[in-house]
Structure 1
Amino acid sequence: MSDIEDTVQAEEGDRLASLLSLCPRYIVVPPNPPDGIAFAMTGDCQDWDQLTYWHSGISNCKPGIWRAEIKRIPGAHDGDADYEACLRWVADLDDDTELDFGASLDEWQAWEQMFKDKFDGSLEWDSGIIWKHGGTYYDDGGIFNVISTAYLTHEAAAKVLGDDYNEDEYDGYLEMITLNDNPINEEDSQRNYGFTLGGLHFGQDSIGGPPAIALAEKDGQVVAIKLWSDDAEIEEGTPLEKQPGQLVF
């Protein structure tokens, strides 16, 4: 899967679609996320209740900049834990790293490039990280998302949509992000497969084949989330080393 290559050309009045096409790989997690939920785990949603009450979330995550990654697992059969997704903390929030969601598309992309230059490529895991089973997730088919809730509030929607925003647009904003339903070409679709604004998504089968979830903790905070999917149901008590995913990150 290739990295972001070309500057996104924004069409007038189509700011959200352009940002979805950019699909930033670097994500903001605030120190005080809404309802204490740093990452929402959800399917296709149109309102906040669906994000925070109908489905679960991941709390106690280290604030800062997180990187989203997706990797194919060498030698795995299609549908048999053939790829993994990872969200991992890489930097603290400060005046240089904070992102204004109202920034222009060029400014947003320059912010992204700053982290690509510093963190793209191989990253070693810090010592002292402890991995634990984070369970499995079921959704009734369609899309499974892990998205920083910083991107899902009314305030975020107003900044991302800019002049096009009104209260009636919020439901559509959530639906666009959780479906990653942006009008981009086939090359962009392949490049952005598995990514959406603020996080990652998995395609699921018609009965909601569950991704397995692993959480990494350090100093009492979650610093990484790994997910992989398999055709077979994954039991809650299965040790990490016996899961089908190879934890290649």
Structure 2
Amino acid sequence: MTEIKFNVLIAEDEENIGNFISTILKTNGYKPIIATTGNQAIQCAESYCPDVILLDLGLPDMDGIDVISEIRKWAVTPIIVISARNRESEKVKALDAGADDYITKPFGNQELLARIRTALRHRRQPMGAETKTPMYHAGQLKIDFDKRRVFLGEEEIRLTQIEYKLVSLLAENAGKVITYESIIKDIWGPHADTNNRILRVNMANIRRKIEKNPAVPKYVFTEVGVGYRMLENELNS
């Protein structure tokens, strides 16, 4: 069974706490990424497209509130603040800036894991997408969004992290044309190369894996000069 792990970005400047959280995540099947400054956290959010961000507010180069505000300019990634600041005003400030949850230090392992699971279940959808169906099913292609698994008939298709993010983005917005610019911004962040080359390469790889004849696609269509469109989800018909 192939199951793509969830990436979790840990923005924490205290090495012992960062390593402690990283160990908890690895033990429970997550893939941690550690950033020790606010600028590094923003860069990692753009580069790695994490599924959840765990953010300490007391970073050495900039306040965590500013990190939240910057990331919220272009990403809907769930942000869970983990901070020693326990005043109600601090919590309200972080939540108003765009954080999804707030945990006060010290915290228990199980509480942290429960908050992450909740954040993953309630992830906001990009580009105004409606509440997503837990499955995509069209023809022989099936995508289980919760388990992050893709099947073509009975065969499980192995995708890279980026390939899965691309195909799931299109599937969650099935039937709609998603522009090249919107896809690049959603997957790679606002400062990514906009010449579409990396997008075209990844889409070509996806088509080789899910299309019987990539030259005559059945599931992912190119709207020339505009973007891509996924075949409508039969479960929504």
TM-score calculated relative to the size of structure 1:
0.27
**More relative contact order in 1 or in 2 (CA 8 Å, sep 6+)?**
1
Larger Rg: 2
Which has a greater percent of helix? 2
